[in-house]
């Protein structure tokens, strides 16, 4: 047998697939169900009596029958009120008195229906003008006392057959109506604020002329155990009148809600919430008010058994192991040398953090706080080392934008500008941290020149002398300490500090929306592809990783913007591929270099509004991803330069409001 709810759902959902039989179409084959409406009678005081007749049901059992009515003359399931009268046998008359869902002086259309296993049969439609509905009347509510979330039944008169048309209030709190008939309402008791309640009903806008008394049964917490534990432990609460509805059953440790994993009338099993970090915690069942027990739950303090590694740099991960940690990452606080470390993940036995940047080299302890106001100290010291080391200052005049290059054992730097333009050149020996002067650059007053090295020889090109752009290429031989003029770069010159890069013994020089490749073996320049998106580009970054070159992160003249774009050059195919954008602040005049570890580094520089920067970023071509590393410890500046010797980079010079001559060694992991 089908239930009423299933029948009603079938009537509403499957109307488009029904076999519809109307009164005007008489069937002599009694194997087809047939129904008609015979009369509609208005009732004094409101309401109407619908009468229908089953003319034929065949051999099938009538699983459901009833009436639909609506203000729409096309009475159909889904858009109409419906009354279900249940199962019946055989043909004959059936009636239903409707006292709700009728508006005074409104025209309604009524249609009967019957349902068998194979058919949904509808009769003809009759209309009537309603005299209105009747005010609902309440007789009783059973049970007369209950816990919120329980199901209770109100008996009375003039209720709507449609549950949603009946509104039940416990004082002023609306209850959820589950089922309804003309004389019965089934609902869920809401969480009312008072214990002694007045229950009222409104049906299609008409309020009941009386109210019923109802008692809310208050949940009582008599105890819980254990009363000590850690996050995620199961605690059993005992008492009486516990709600079994998950909508209303709520347990709190202080203000953090606990997950209820099992519930009965007298017992809740709950999980200690990780969102509470205050100990001891008041355990409470929440109704409208809190109902607490006179004892408190004590959270166990965190225990640290190990911290590793013991030697770290800014940006490294540290793994803290132990017990009673908070599994919610943000609920753990870790301090290193008084600085807050970022917690990246946590569990009950492990917390992983990132070492803050900018810590001074030396040793320090560590503090972990999982309970508010109760830090736990790790007394074993952690040693902090920095990838940065300040070296001896450059002994020459401080300057910006010098030309630099490096051989396998030495760095070279010269030209650049301060209040004047220089042509002195210097050699740096990292092994002894010393500078010495070498032969001066042969072109006077050249500024914004660019340098590169190939096969232990250094080269300087581009830049500007007075109002003229220079395309000269000049080679330095460290063995003879001499400069030689080489084949001039073709195309246009540039003073936009266009960065070159070197791949497999050949240099690639960009200027004025062109790129030329220089082969020192033949002293010949060859035009190569240029990344069109960069347009007239300068003050950018360039570096080599393996057999690929990279250019970007600088100023685009036509657009007047600093771009974060980065492009990779493949000399074998003479093609450019766009890679991951630089995630830091867009800038120009950054410092840049690559190291034998297969990574490149970009940092410092200036924004369009001349905000000087000192952040540093590492680029990994394998993952095509950027990662911020420890900031440059010197002053924020632009037009600094870098050269690399072996596995280390040497960074310095630039402008931060004044020209600088400090030198810093960078040695990553």
- Look up the CATH architecture of domain 303-383: Sandwich (2.60)
Is the per-residue pLDDT at 471 higher than 50?
yes
Cα distance between residue 452 and residue 450, in whole Å? 7
Token code pair at residue 469:
């752009």
CATH superfamily of 4-129: Immunoglobulins (2.60.40.10)
According to the model, what pLDDT value does residue 611 have? Answer: 98
Q: pLDDT tens digit string along 412-462?
A: 999 999 999 999 999 999 999 999 999 999 999 999 999 999 999 999 999
According to the model, what pLDDT value does residue 498 have? Answer: 81
Q: pLDDT tens digit string along 581-639?
A: 999 999 999 999 999 999 999 999 999 999 999 999 999 999 999 999 999 999 999 99
> Mean pLDDT over all residues of the chain?
92
Token code pair at residue 300:
């166990």
Judge contact between 229 and 276, C-beta under 8 A. no
Judge contact between 599 and 668, C-beta under 8 A. yes
Average pLDDT score over residue span 503-527: 97
The helix (H) or strand (E) run that includes residue 152 is strand 151-157
Q: Name the band, by pLDDT with cuts 50, 70 and 90, for residue 290.
A: confident
Average pLDDT score over residue span 115-123: 89
Looking at per-residue confidence, does 314 or 254 come out higher? 254
According to the model, what pLDDT value does residue 25 have? Answer: 38
Cα distance between residue 121 and residue 143, in whole Å? 39
Q: Give the CATH fold of the 137-216 domain.
A: Immunoglobulin-like (2.60.40)
Cα distance between residue 501 and residue 541, in whole Å? 10
Q: In what order do the strands lie in the sheet with 220-225?
A: 220-225, 234-240, 267-271, 256-263, 251-253, 281-286, 290-299, 228-229
Q: Name the band, by pLDDT with cuts 50, 70 and 90, for residue 31.
A: low
Q: Name the band, by pLDDT with cuts 50, 70 and 90, for residue 72.
A: very high
Is the per-residue pLDDT at 237 higher than 50?
yes
Q: pLDDT tens digit string along 193-203?
A: 889 999 999 99
Looking at per-residue confidence, does 118 or 556 come out higher? 556
Average pLDDT score over residue span 307-312: 94
Judge contact between 389 and 664, C-beta under 8 A. yes
Other C-beta atoms within 10 Å of 48: how many?
22
Is the per-residue pLDDT at 357 higher than 60?
yes
Average pLDDT score over residue span 243-263: 95
Distance from chain centroid for Cα 276: 23
CATH superfamily of 220-299: Immunoglobulins (2.60.40.10)
Read out DSSP for 7-68?
HHHHHHHTGGG-----TTS--S-TTS-EEEEEEEEE-TTS-EEEEEEEEE-TTS-B-EEEEE
Token code pair at residue 319:
């793994």
The SS3 of residue 511 is: strand
Predicted TM-score (pTM) of this structure: 0.67
According to the model, what pLDDT value does residue 496 have? Answer: 86
Cα distance between residue 347 and residue 328, in whole Å? 7
Query: Domain 400-663 carries which CATH code?
Result: 2.120.10.80
Looking at per-residue confidence, does 205 or 598 come out higher? 598
Is the per-residue pLDDT at 332 higher than 70?
yes
Phi, psi (5° rounding) for residue 9? -60, -40
CATH 2.60.40.10 spans which residues of the chain? 4-129, 137-216, 220-299, 303-383
Q: What share of the chain is helix, strand, coil (3-state, %, to 5)?
A: 5, 50, 45
Cα distance between residue 246 and residue 253, in whole Å? 17
According to the model, what pLDDT value does residue 24 have? Answer: 37
């Amino acid at each position: 047998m089908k239930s009423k709810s299933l029948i009603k759902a079938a009537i509403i959902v499957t109307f488009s697939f029904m076999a519809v039989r109307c009164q005007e179409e008489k069937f002599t084959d009694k194997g087809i169900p047939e129904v008609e409406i015979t009369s509609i009678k208005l009732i004094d005081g409101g309401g109407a009596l619908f009468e229908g007749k089953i003319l034929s049901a065949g051999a099938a059992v009538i699983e459901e029958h009833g009436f639909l009515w609506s203000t729409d003359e096309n009475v159909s399931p889904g858009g109409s009120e419906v009354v279900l009268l249940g199962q019946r046998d055989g043909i004959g008359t059936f009636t239903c008195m409707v006292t709700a869902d009728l508006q005074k002086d409104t025209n309604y259309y009524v249609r009967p229906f019957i349902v068998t296993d194979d058919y949904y049969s509808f009769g003809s439609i009759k209309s009537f003008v309603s005299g209105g509905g009747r005010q609902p009347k309440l007789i009783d509510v059973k049970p007369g006392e209950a816990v919120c979330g329980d199901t209770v039944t109100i008996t009375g008169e003039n209720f709507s057959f449609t549950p949603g048309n009946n509104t039940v209030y416990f004082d002023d709190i609306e209850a959820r109506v589950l089922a309804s008939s003309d004389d019965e309402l089934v609902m869920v008791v809401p969480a009312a604020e008072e214990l002694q309640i007045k229950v009222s009903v409104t049906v299609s806008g008409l309020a009941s002329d009386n109210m019923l008394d109802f008692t809310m049964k208050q949940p009582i917490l008599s105890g819980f155990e254990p009363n000590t534990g850690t996050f995620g432990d199961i605690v059993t609460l005992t008492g009486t009148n516990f709600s079994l509805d998950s909508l209303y059953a709520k347990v709190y440790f202080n203000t953090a809600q606990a997950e209820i994993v099992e519930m009965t009338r007298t017992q809740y099993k709950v999980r200690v919430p990780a969102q509470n970090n205050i100990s001891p915690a008041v355990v409470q069942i929440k109704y409208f008010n809190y109902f607490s027990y006179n004892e408190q739950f004590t959270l166990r303090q965190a225990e640290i058994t190990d911290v590793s590694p013991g030697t770290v740099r800014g940006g490294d991960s540290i793994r803290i192991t132990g017990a009673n940690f908070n599994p919610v990452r943000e609920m753990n606080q870790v301090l290193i040398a008084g600085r807050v470390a970022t917690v990246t993940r946590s569990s009950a036995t492990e917390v992983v953090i990132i070492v803050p940047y900018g810590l001074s080299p030396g040793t320090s302890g560590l503090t972990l706080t999982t309970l508010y106001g109760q830090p736990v100290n790790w007394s074993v010291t952690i040693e902090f080392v920095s990838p940065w080391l300040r070296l001896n200052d450059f002994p020459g005049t401080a300057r910006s934008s010098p030309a630099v290059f490096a051989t396998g054992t030495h760095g070279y730097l010269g030209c650049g500008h301060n209040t004047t333009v220089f042509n002195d050149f210097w050699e740096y020996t990292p092994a002894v941290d010393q500078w010495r002067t070498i032969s001066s650059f042969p072109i006077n007053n050249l500024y914004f020149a660019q340098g590169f090295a190939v096969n232990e020889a250094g080269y300087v090109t581009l830049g500007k002398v007075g109002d003229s752009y220079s395309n000269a290429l000049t080679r330095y031989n460290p063995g003879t300490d001499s400069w030689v003029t080489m084949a001039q770069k073709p195309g246009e010159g540039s003073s936009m500090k266009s960065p070159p890069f070197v791949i497999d013994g050949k240099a690639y020089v960009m200027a004025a929306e062109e790129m030329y490749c220089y082969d020192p073996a033949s002293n010949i320049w060859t035009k190569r592809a240029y990344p069109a998106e960069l347009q007239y580009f300068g003050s950018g970054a360039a570096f080599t990783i393996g057999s690929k070159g990279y250019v970007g992160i600088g100023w685009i003249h036509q657009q007047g913007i600093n771009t974060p774009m980065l492009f990779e050059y493949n000399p074998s195919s003479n093609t450019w591929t766009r890679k991951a954008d630089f995630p830091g602040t867009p800038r120009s005049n950054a410092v840049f270099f690559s190291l034998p570890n297969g990574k490149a580094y970009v940092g410092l520089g200036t924004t369009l509004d001349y905000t000087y920067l000192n952040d540093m970023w590492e680029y990994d071509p394998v993952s095509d991803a950027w990662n911020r590393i420890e900031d440059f410890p010197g002053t924020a500046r632009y037009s600094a330069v870098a050269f690399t010797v072996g596995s280390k980079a040497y960074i310095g010079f630039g402008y931060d409001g004044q020209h600088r001559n400090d030198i810093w060694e960078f040695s990553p992991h």
